[in-house]
Chains A and B, each alone.
Chain A
Amino acid sequence: MWDGQVARQNPDIQRKRSAFVCVRITRMNGVDFQRFAFDLDTTWSAFFTDSRLNIYSRFGGRDAGEPEERLSVKSLLHTMDEVLDAHRRRLSDLKQDRQDNDPHDPRIQPAPKQSLTPQQIPLLAQNHQGCVHCHQIREYQFLQWSHEGVFSQRKLFGWPLPETLGIELDRDHGHRIQRVSAKSPAVNAGLRSGDIVERVGDVPIRSEYDIRWALHRLPKQHQVPLTVRRGRQDSAARHTMQLPLPSGWRQTNLSWRKSLRSIPLEFGFRGYALTRSQLDKLKLDRTRMAIRVTSVKNRGLAQALDLHKRDIIVRVADRAASGTFYAFQSDLLGAYKPGDTVRIQVLRDGERLTLSGKFPNWFTRETAVP
């Protein structure tokens, strides 16, 4: 497992670690998660900082695939080398009085204006005792925002994937572009395979996670400046370009996230994805998925759509239904927001029906997270 590799098993990481002071934190109580901002649904994240906790780089992140698929020893070693280089340069500048400990030093990542610890979330402080897990912070944030009436679709989606913008990164490097998709925002910006991403907005980049954080923290805007190094090491040139950000670019598949259970939306129904043999039996396309509704409560989205128990959902927002019940929920949350008209197609008693209704307002009765 990845954690064991980093903690002690991989000899290359061990050797490299001796150049750092290593800290391992296993509970979030008291941690400033604004400064140490990471995807709170993940179980492993790392930061490289100076002694004042100015951040050089962050490392980690996952998607809906295997939890450790996006992590590689080579890319971690690469990031560690880049951090050590930046740290030595800063130390050298400080010794020569060329620069004070400047919080705006472009070699370090921008710091948040305020700190925030889990205990500063009122519902968490009231209802939670003992060890605070990462995902619980995100879930309490969902509940808190909902009760304060400030929850929004945007808050659901974070840590966007570079692939959404047409950038596929070399997993063994971290921030070198391996492939640029045709007709993508990346190709429109002029990015090429082999480019090394050095800066996104005001964030210096030393890992893929840095790119995701730089995108994650962007306010609503239509493009972001991005600087790349292009060409051979000895004759490389820097290029800055504007990367367009099309609608929906922040969205990722939420199905793997533990925090999905605390999203303030009353679905009002439960279900499961049919197996291939069940699809065959119903003469449905076995390459597509379908969701069988197993229970319905007379509230929320189920009520708005007049969904029935035993309905089989085959299309959502004019797309085929996703693989699992959680992926289906993720699709719904990405496609609609409160007030929108939801359209789904179901099979009911052998007949194909289109159901439509208003997407309900964000709402939860919950005040605590299990």
Chain B
Amino acid sequence: MTHRFPLLILSLAACGAVHDSARGESRWHNDLPTAQRIAERDHKPLFVVFRCER
């Protein structure tokens, strides 16, 4: 049973919308245009992760 917990976290992460601002974590966006607009506004670079689940 103990190994199920990290698997659950991963499957949530795979949905592409990991958001945990309450814990001060950076949000993972799941669409590039929105992220580009925010990057332009905030003068930040983008960190784009491709995670292929098969």
Contacts and interface: CB of A to CB of B under 8 A. Distances in A.
Interface stretch (A20-28, A248-256, A280-288, A324-332): A20-28
A218 interface: no
A53 B46 contact: yes
Contacts of B52: 26, 28, 42-44, 133-135
Nearest to A31: B50
Contact of B46 (A8, A23, A44): A23
A1 B6 contact: yes
Interface string A32-71: 0000101000111111111111001000000000000000
A23 B47 contact: yes
A43 B51 contact: yes
A17 interface: yes
B28 A18 contact: no
Given A20-B44, A26-B16, A51-B46, A8 B51 contact: no
B10 interface: yes
Contact of B45 (A3, A38, A43, A50): A50
Interface stretch (A83-91, A116-124, A178-186, A194-202): A83-91
A46 B9 contact: no
Contacts of B38: 21
Contacts of A83: 45
B29 A22 contact: yes
A6 B49 contact: yes
Interface string B1-35: 00000100110011110101000011111111001
Contact of B48 (A9, A42, A49, A133): A49
A294 interface: no
B49 A36 contact: no
Counting chain A residues whose Cβ lies within 8 A of the other chain, the interface size class is 35 or more
A7 B18 contact: yes
A24 B43 contact: no
B20 A25 contact: no
A183 B46 CA distance: 41
A23 B51 contact: no
B50 A21 contact: no
Contacts of A48: 45-48
Given A26-B53, A36-B50, A135-B54, A21 B16 contact: no
B30 A24 contact: yes
B45 A25 contact: no
Contact of B25 (A14, A25, A46): A14
Given A43-B51, A43-B54, A46-B50, A21 B39 contact: yes
B15 to A, nearest CB: 7
A42 B26 CA distance: 25
A4 interface: yes
A20 B45 contact: yes
A23 B45 contact: no
11 contacts: A19-B45, A21-B45, A23-B28, A23-B35, A23-B46, A23-B48, A24-B18, A25-B51, A26-B30, A26-B51, A80-B47
Interface of B: 6, 9-10, 13-16, 18, 20, 25-32, 35-40, 42-54
Interface of A: 1, 3-4, 6-9, 14, 17-26, 28, 31, 36, 38, 42-53, 56, 80, 83-84, 87, 91, 133-135, 258
Given A4-B13, A22-B46, A80-B47, 12 more contacts: A1-B6, A8-B13, A17-B26, A21-B35, A25-B30, A25-B32, A26-B16, A26-B52, A43-B52, A47-B46, A50-B39, A133-B54
